[in-house]
Amino acid sequence: MTALPLTALPAAPRQQTLRTHREGPVLTIELNTPEHGNTVTDALLDDLLAVLQDQDPAVRVLVLAGRGDDFCLGGDRGEFTRHLAHDPTGGGIRLSGTKARRVCDALTGNPAVTIARVHGKVIGAGMALALACDLRVGSEDAVFRLPELALGLPTAWGGLLPRLINEVGAARVRELVLTGRAFGAEEARSLSVLQRVVPAHELDAAVADWARPIVRRPPAALRVTKTLLNSLSAASRLADVSALDAELMAAVVSEAHQARGDG
C-alpha cells in the first residue's frame, strides 16, 4: 500500500469545506478551509456528518486530516458572535453544540477504524475531532492547546472532556484545561493524545503503516473488536455528562453576552 495521496474528488455543493479521497477500503476526509485555519463551523460540521452518514460500508479505514499549515484552529468565534446576535439566548450555539456531539460520536462509533493525521496547530475543537478517532499520529511540529477557559468558555464541545480524561487522566487534564498552556507533539505522545510522532514528510507513510494491516482484518471481527473497545472505554467513564455540552456552552456564552449588555 502506498502513501495516501490527498487528491480531491469532485465535491458536492454541500461539502465545500472538505476534500475526500478514496483508495480502495481507505477513505481520507480532509478539512479544506486552510485560509481560515480549518476552523470548525456549522457548515463544516454539516458536511462531516453528511460524509459520515453516507459512508460506504466497504470502507475499513477512515483518515481525518487537515489541509494547509494547521490541522484545525478550533471553533469559529465569529460564528459564535453571529449566533448570539441572532438569538441572545444561545439557541444557535445549542444547535451547533448538538451537531458537534453527533460528529464526534459518528467518528468514535464509526464501523471503520478512524485515524487522525494531525500537524501544525491542533486547538480546542480540533483536538476534540482528533480525540474522537481511534488512532492519532502527529507531525513533530504539532502544537496542542485548550484555550476555552481563557476565552470565557467551558470545555464542553463534542464530548472532549470525558474523552480526554479517559485517555490522559484527570490530574493532567485538569492542569491543561485550567492553564490553557500549549504543549508539543512529544508531550502529546507521553499523554496519549497521540500514539505516534513522525517528521511531517512521513505522516502519510505512518498512516499507511497503520492502515495496511487493518484492511486485511476480517470485517466482522474488526467491527466487533472496535465495538468492544468503545464499550469498555465508555464503561470506565462513570459520570460522562457530555450530553449536556451544548446546553452548558449555550448557557455560559449567553450569560456572558447578556452581562456585557450585548443583547
Task: Say which CATH number the domain at 34 has.
Answer: 3.90.226.10
Q: What whole-number distance in Å separates Cα of residue 99 and Cα of residue 48?
A: 10
Mean of pLDDT values over 149-166: 88
- On whether residue 1 sits in a domain, the answer given is no
Number of domains in the chain: 1
pLDDT of 31 reads 98
- On whether residue 209 sits in a domain, the answer given is no
- On whether residue 186 sits in a domain, the answer given is yes
pLDDT of 1 reads 39
Confidence of residue 259 (pLDDT cuts 50, 70, 90): low
- On whether residue 206 sits in a domain, the answer given is no
User: What single-letter amino acid sits at 173?
Assistant: V
Coil vs helix vs strand at 173:
helix
Instruction: Compute the radius of gyration of the chain from its Cα atoms.
Output: 18
Predicted confidence (pLDDT) per residue in 42-67, tens digit: 999 999 999 999 999 999 999 999 99
pLDDT of 82 reads 85
- On whether residue 3 sits in a domain, the answer given is no
- 46 versus 244: the higher-pLDDT residue is 46
- DSSP string for 23-83: ETTEEEEEE--GGGTT-B-HHHHHHHHHHHHT--TT--EEEEEE-SS-SB--B-HHHHHHH
* Residue 5 scores a pLDDT above 80: no
* Residue 258 scores a pLDDT above 70: no
Predicted confidence (pLDDT) per residue in 112-136, tens digit: 999 999 999 999 999 999 999 999 9
- On whether residue 210 sits in a domain, the answer given is no
* Residue 167 scores a pLDDT above 80: yes
* Residue 7 scores a pLDDT above 60: no
Provide the total of helices (H) and of strands (E) in the chain, helices listed first: 10, 9
Work out the percent of the chain whose per-residue pLDDT is above 70: 83
Mean of pLDDT values over 165-179: 95
Predicted confidence (pLDDT) per residue in 8-40, tens digit: 333 334 458 999 999 999 999 999 999 999 999
Confidence of residue 255 (pLDDT cuts 50, 70, 90): low
- On whether residue 130 sits in a domain, the answer given is yes
pLDDT of 6 reads 39
Cβ-contact 83, 250 below 8 angstroms: no
Mean of pLDDT values over 197-217: 97
pLDDT of 231 reads 84
Cβ-contact 199, 137 below 8 angstroms: no
What is the extent of the structural domain holding 253? 13-201+218-259
DSSP-assigned beta bridge partners for residue 183: 144
* Residue 260 scores a pLDDT above 90: no
Angle (deg, nearest 10), helices 160-168 and 91-108: 40
- On whether residue 207 sits in a domain, the answer given is no
Predicted confidence (pLDDT) per residue in 61-93, tens digit: 999 999 999 999 999 888 877 877 777 777 778
Cβ-based neighbour number of residue 31 at 10 Å: 26
The per-residue b/e assignment along 195-204, b for 16 or more CB within 10 angstroms, e otherwise, is bbbbeeebbb
